[in-house]
Amino acid sequence: MATDYSHLSSFERERASVFHSWSAQASIKPLMVKSAQGVYVTAEDGTTYLDFSSQLVNTNIGHQYPSVVAAIQAQAGLLTTIAPQHGYESRYRAAELIVDRSFDGAAKVFFTNAGTEAVEHAVRMARLHTGRPKVLAAYRSYHGATATSINLTGDPRRWPNDNGSSGVVHFFGPFLYRSAFHATNEEEECQRALESLESTIQFEGPSTIAAIILESVPGTAGIMVPPPGYLRGVRELCDRYGIVYIADEVMCGFGRTGSWFAYQHFDVAPDLVAFAKGVTSGYVPLGGVVINEAISATFNDRVYPGGLTYSGHPLACATAVATIEAMENDGIIDNARRIGDEVLRPGLAALAEKHRIIGDVRGLGVFFALDLVADRATREPLAPYGSSSPALDAIVAACRQEQLLIFSNFNRLHTVPPCTITPDEAREGLARLDRALTVGDAYYTGS
Ligand SMILES: Cc1ncc(COP(=O)(O)O)c(C=O)c1O
């Protein structure tokens, strides 16, 4: 018998029937959204929020970008789906545009539905290409929620999903503010992180390691921009030991850091690149793997044992084409870089002058993190690793009160607006954040 939902509010209907990600279902209070435009999201009650989170750091061109919405509508009128074994224009156009913006030696794109599948397939390709089983991944990382990618993930969301036999070995990447190597400057941190990684490779056995996977700038784990030379050092280690270098650009790619891909800031060419999110700004789900010539050639005469019903979905690929063209034609990537250099970096530094709970400000483009501390001298996090705290809950609630959507994780706030944000909108967001942080100042226990 059909259930009668009509007496329930929309909030109650959502809560009654939808099972939400990463949540204890009884404790969540989703914001009920009515519409969104540009960098603003309007709730059902009419309140409008400035989106400093880009949803899940994916609406890189903001909401409802007219040319992309028009391209989706046009594609829907032409052909909404086609099986992956057929060829189709929007699919090869998207692949061409992505390869053209990638590293020298990039050959092909394998399309997936999302980031986690991109990571799964990149690892599968690396294992088949090398004939080796293990993958090295950073502790401070997030790579996705399916079987391999959640085991690659370093953060505590792995723990309940860790099957103990995934073939993943974790290591510490560079992160000077919370150095695992007792380093006191970026050069030391870089050198020691590379030495430690090389020891890990040697002690694990190079002939057992298929790939090293790294977010070029780790996102959810804290936006730690790697020191100059680190990614090139990883590239050299991979070359020395015959290991495939996989760059996970799912969050940091497609304009987020002020370049097409974040690895391009560091003058390095990976072998495989996993992407998703910003490639379509999330308007239609799409992910994929950029594959270099050598790995692509491995599967010229040998069957690649992997596929997806929706690999290269025409609607998603048409969205990617329109998104990339909008980014290119409308100067969106340059805008992200300028907003980072001219508004976010100085603006967040000014907030750090004022609020002692801000221990560290780091990032680039529209990809910045505030590392919040209870004490600047000890750098004690304002929430413990792996969970929240009353202080963080209060600050996030204050952001909501200020009509600011913000990304928070453990003791951090991430200011990650769309790449299309204007200087005035960014300044407005910083003003709202300033007021919200005042609520957190009461939790500072240092001198
Ligand atoms: C770096 C990184 N890799 C992979 C993923 C997984 O992507 P998806 O959620 O689209 O599966 C994410 C998601 O946040 C991510 O940030």
| Length of the chain, in residues | 447
- Tens digits of residue pLDDT in 192-216: 999 999 999 999 999 999 999 999 9
- Residues 243 and 208 sit within 8 Å (Cβ to Cβ): no
Mean pLDDT for the chain overall: 97
Considering all CA atoms of the chain, what is the largest pairwise distance in Å, rounded to the nearest integer?
Answer: 67
pLDDT for residue 247 is more than 90: yes
Helix axes 89-100, 314-329, angle to 10 degrees: 40
Nearest CA to ligand 1 atom 8: 115
pLDDT for residue 1 is more than 80: no
Q: Residue 404 has which token pair?
A: 């600011």
Determine whether the shortest distance from the Cβ of 215 to ligand 1 is under 6 A.
yes
The Cα angle at residue 428 between residues 425 and 432, in degrees rounded to 5 = 140
Determine whether the shortest distance from the Cβ of 333 to ligand 1 is under 6 A.
no
- Residues 20 and 29 sit within 8 Å (Cβ to Cβ): no
Q: What is the rounded distance in angstroms from the CA atom of residue 429 to the CA atom of residue 436?
A: 11
Phi, psi of 221 (to 5 degrees): -75, -5
- Residues 48 and 41 sit within 8 Å (Cβ to Cβ): yes
Amino acid code (one letter) for 66:
P
- Residues 221 and 369 sit within 8 Å (Cβ to Cβ): no
- Tens digits of residue pLDDT in 91-102: 999 999 999 999
Q: What is the pLDDT of residue 111?
A: 98
Whole-number Å distance, alpha carbon 444 to ligand 1 midpoint, is 33
- Residues 288 and 109 sit within 8 Å (Cβ to Cβ): yes
pLDDT for residue 398 is more than 90: yes
Q: What is the rounded distance in angstroms from the CA atom of residue 443 to the CA atom of residue 222?
A: 21
Determine whether the shortest distance from the Cβ of 212 to ligand 1 is under 6 A.
no
Q: What is the pLDDT of residue 447?
A: 85
Stretch (H or E) spanning 360: strand 358-364
Q: How confident is the model at residue 373 (pLDDT cuts 50, 70, 90)?
A: very high
Q: Residue 256 has which token pair?
A: 């987020």
Amino acid code (one letter) for 408:
S
Q: What is the rounded distance in angstroms from the CA atom of residue 336 to the CA atom of residue 256?
A: 7
**Helix segments in 309-379, DSSP class H:** 314-329, 332-338, 345-354
- Tens digits of residue pLDDT in 403-433: 999 999 999 999 999 999 999 999 999 999 9
Distances (CA, A) of 16 to 20, 22, 31, 151, 437: 11, 17, 15, 31, 34
Q: Residue 157 has which token pair?
A: 């969301």
Average pLDDT value for residue range 379-399: 97
Nearest CA to ligand 1 atom 5: 144
Q: Which residue has the tokens 């508004």?
A: 343
Determine whether the shortest distance from the Cβ of 119 to ligand 1 is under 6 A.
yes
Percentage of the chain exceeding pLDDT 90: 98
Q: How confident is the model at residue 117 (pLDDT cuts 50, 70, 90)?
A: very high
